[in-house]
Structure 1
Amino acid sequence: MHPWLAQRTTAFESSGIRKVFDLAAKLKDPINLSIGQPDFDVPDEIKTAATDAINEGKNAYSPTQGIGPLREKLKATIDSQFAHADRDVFVSSGTSGGLMLAMLSMINPGDEVIYLDPYFVMYPALLEMCGGVSVRVDSSPDFRLNPDKIAAAITPRTKMILVNSPANPTGITASVEELEAVAKLAAEKNIALLSDEIYSRFMFDEDFVSPAKFNDQTIVIDGFSKSHAMTGWRVGYVHGPSEVIAAMLKVQQYSFVCSPQPAQWGALRAMEVNLSGHIDDYRRKRDLICEGLADYYEFAKPGGAFYLYPKAPIDSGSKFVEMAIERGLLIIPGKIFSQHDSHFRISFAASDETLHRGIKVLQDLARELK
């Protein structure tokens, strides 16, 4: 280890997903079912709003909390949903930025944070940067949010419960009953509840429900990256109790400073864009890949996001992914998201042609491994 490096940099590895992305760039005509972003482009009206902002000279720093019109529109929407007496909102540099600010503002060394395994890869890394302790609750085999398992994991050092529905990497959506039980548990125990809702618009079988409906102290993180294909624009938002939001803003002032101003004007326009056609298309893609793999793999049918998380037909999910990559199919090993090396993640945010090619490779592999 280089003598100048901080110890915190050794607590976690570089993202395994990024390694697959790097591999994709080297393959000729890969079947790419690895990337976690929509395959449609940013809607034209959003692009126009952002380029208009650039051409009008709106290129300086914005206020740390975000441009006034966007923040006001977000606040009005959030207030209409929850009507909480004390709920503020600010614009973050993507939802990843929002997550980092939440951890830096709330987690002290030794504080425990409960979340489900499998999990989004950033959760343990961010916690370890802050000196927090990951308490991973095994959600297999159905990957559901089980309130009893969450309750059993609580200790006197528990500071936060982190929920993600629809979930990455499984696509599983928590039921209203599950969310309500966990929200009320957090309130009863005076534990912070952080809800990562970046896939909230990708619901295929039912309406989205936030745990903030049942716990007015819930901190919610959401954004425009996945819903509007704006992953590179870095516009997220966070809402929750005003004192917590103020602390997060203070940290943002000395770190991210603000989300890019032209992108915020694009996000303001994005709030008026109808996404129903895209959601219908992803529901169809979900059904296409589930039907294509149902006779070959074990999996829980996703109710949201754009991921499928099948069990590998051999003992090692990582070894299976290597076999798939040898055939030009890029998928993600489950051990990146889990303490278990038993599954793999497919992103069905891809063209139908790519999905059909990927399904064929996976069907052939399953037949050969029987």
Structure 2
Amino acid sequence: MNERWIAGRMAHIDASGIRKAFEMARAMKDPINLSIGMPNFDVDEPVKQAAYEAIRDGFNQYSVTQGVAELRAKLQARVDEAHGQPDRQVIVTSGTAGALMLAMLATVEPGDQVIVFDPYFVMYNHQVTMAGGETVLIDTYPDFRIRAEAVAAAITPRTKAVIVNSPVNPTGVVATAEELQALAELCREKGVLLISDEVYQAFCYDRPFRSPADWNEDVLVVDGFSKTYGMTGWRLGFAHGPSRLIQEMTKLQQFSFICAPTPLQVAAVHALDQDLTGHIEAYRRKRDLVVEGLAGLYDLPRPEGAFYAFPRAPWGTASEFCAEAARRELLIIPGNVFSRRDTHFRISYAVADDVLKRGLDVLRDLAERGA
């Protein structure tokens, strides 16, 4: 093959370290898989039934690009109730990842800078690269808090956007209202777009969820159904923000994803009525198992949301520690997948209790015995 066919940008995009864990799991006999950020509950039965019926009833063609009218209207009503901003519009997308990609391509030009907090979700910097931009990382170690003064110091004339994620993947930290307000007001003052990834907003355990859109009407929010309703494979997301930006994202969706899967959009109308209390309480309890199980052995900033914990490796680099864990059939993700640092590792506790307890047993043993 002629190497000239491959675009130069591909040299700056690595294969996902999380996907590598999928491959490792397949090669193991009885893996303790705490690596994948995927809900361990299934789609609610009435929602499945709605999907079957939508397919049977012929909802199998393209929808309008913005999304099925009933779903969009229901989302719009929720957004209006939460924010009360007359210019805020909704678009249904092919996953939250699709919403982020549309946002990057609609706003970032070659040479633009996008500020991202470190540790970060693995997709952010690569999507910035695909749009021709440059990622500027702001270190949040050791407590993973957002500090507006650090953002202010990083803003330059080339800064186009800031991406914030709360609850955070990979740390599980939930930003406070004060942190988000300061960030939202700073971005408004500086004329910088704030993109808020709120895909885990349903899973907050110690403090109420707040969106920076509460203080800045120009915030673009990306969200989705995957984590909240256990439908990662359905590829349904949505975004809401200033109407002009949503219109530009809609234009891009016409020439890329076209639309989100139509019958699944129809079914998702019913998902919005689902009571999530049981799932949220189950993950709160799993979070507590992790915190209690690692107490005294690991430096672990308390995870307050999502379904992740991000402890510091008790010896060696995180990569070395995770390699030793894998030799004991435990799959966890080293921090350098999410960060410039290789000091911490990510646990996903979105697993059955018995799997989580086996994993915690291995982690305690690793900490007590060393390498």
Indicate whether the TM-score tops 0.5. Answer: yes
In structure 1, the residue matched to 2:271 is 270
Does residue 320 (structure 1) correspond to residue 338 (structure 2)? The answer is no
Aligned 1:253-268 pairs, distance under 5 A = 253-268=254-269
Deviation at 1:11, TM superposition (A): 1.3
In structure 2, the residue matched to 1:344 is 345
In structure 1, the residue matched to 2:67 is 66
Does residue 364 (structure 1) correspond to residue 365 (structure 2)? The answer is yes
Using a 3 Å threshold, how does the CA distance of structure 1 residues 366 and 278 change in structure 2: closer, same or farther? same
Does residue 40 (structure 1) correspond to residue 65 (structure 2)? The answer is no
In structure 2, the residue matched to 1:80 is 81
Aligned 1:193-204 pairs, distance under 5 A = 193-204=194-205
Matched AA of 1:365? L
Matched AA of 2:204? M
Aligned 1:127-146 pairs, distance under 5 A = 127-146=128-147
In structure 1, the residue matched to 2:153 is 152
d(CA) in 2 for partners of 1:300 and 1:146?
16
- My pick for the range that moved more, 337-346 or 21-30, is 21-30
In structure 2, the residue matched to 1:295 is 296
Deviation at 1:150, TM superposition (A): 1.1
Matched AA of 1:51? Y
d(CA) in 1 for partners of 2:201 and 2:345?
23
Deviation at 1:265, TM superposition (A): 1.3
Deviation at 1:85, TM superposition (A): 2.0
Deviation at 1:145, TM superposition (A): 1.0
Deviation at 1:131, TM superposition (A): 1.1
Deviation at 1:266, TM superposition (A): 1.7
d(CA) in 2 for partners of 1:200 and 1:315?
34
Deviation at 1:47, TM superposition (A): 0.4
Normalised TM-score (structure 1): 0.99
Give a deviation string over 1:48-101, Cα, whole Å, max 9, x none. Answer: 111110010100011100000000001111001111021110100000000000
Give a deviation string over 1:273-316, Cα, whole Å, max 9, x none. Answer: 00011000000000001100011100101110000000001231
In structure 1, the residue matched to 2:226 is 225
Deviation at 1:110, TM superposition (A): 0.7
d(CA) in 1 for partners of 2:40 and 2:315?
30
Give a deviation string over 1:209-266, Cα, whole Å, max 9, x none. Answer: 1000000000000010000011000110000000000000000000000000111012
Normalised TM-score (structure 2): 0.99
d(CA) in 2 for partners of 1:56 and 1:305?
36
Any stretches of 5+ residues in structure 1 without a counterpart?
none
In structure 2, the residue matched to 1:118 is 119
d(CA) in 2 for partners of 1:248 and 1:302?
33
Does residue 178 (structure 1) correspond to residue 201 (structure 2)? The answer is no
d(CA) in 2 for partners of 1:75 and 1:85?
11
d(CA) in 2 for partners of 1:197 and 1:73?
18
Matched AA of 1:114? I
Matched AA of 1:241? P
Matched AA of 1:238? A
Give a deviation string over 1:313-339, Cα, whole Å, max 9, x none. Answer: 123100000000000000001000000
Same amino acid, percent of matched pairs: 53
Deviation at 1:9, TM superposition (A): 1.4
Deviation at 1:10, TM superposition (A): 1.4
d(CA) in 1 for partners of 2:266 and 2:326?
40
Give a deviation string over 1:109-167, Cα, whole Å, max 9, x none. Answer: 11111111000000010011111111100000000111111111111111101100000
User: SS of the counterpart of 2:226?
Assistant: coil
Does residue 284 (structure 1) correspond to residue 285 (structure 2)? The answer is yes
In structure 2, the residue matched to 1:241 is 242
In structure 1, the residue matched to 2:102 is 101
Deviation at 1:3, TM superposition (A): 2.1
d(CA) in 2 for partners of 1:7 and 1:357?
44
User: SS of the counterpart of 2:144?
Assistant: coil
Deviation at 1:17, TM superposition (A): 0.6
d(CA) in 2 for partners of 1:206 and 1:51?
37
Deviation at 1:30, TM superposition (A): 0.3
In structure 1, the residue matched to 2:190 is 189
The total of aligned residue pairs comes to 370
Matched AA of 1:320? F
d(CA) in 1 for partners of 2:351 and 2:54?
31
Give a deviation string over 1:323-365, Cα, whole Å, max 9, x none. Answer: 0000000000100000001010000001110011000000000
Matched AA of 1:118? P
d(CA) in 1 for partners of 2:37 and 2:300?
19
d(CA) in 1 for partners of 2:317 and 2:70?
50
CA RMSD after TM alignment: 0.9
Matched AA of 2:183? V
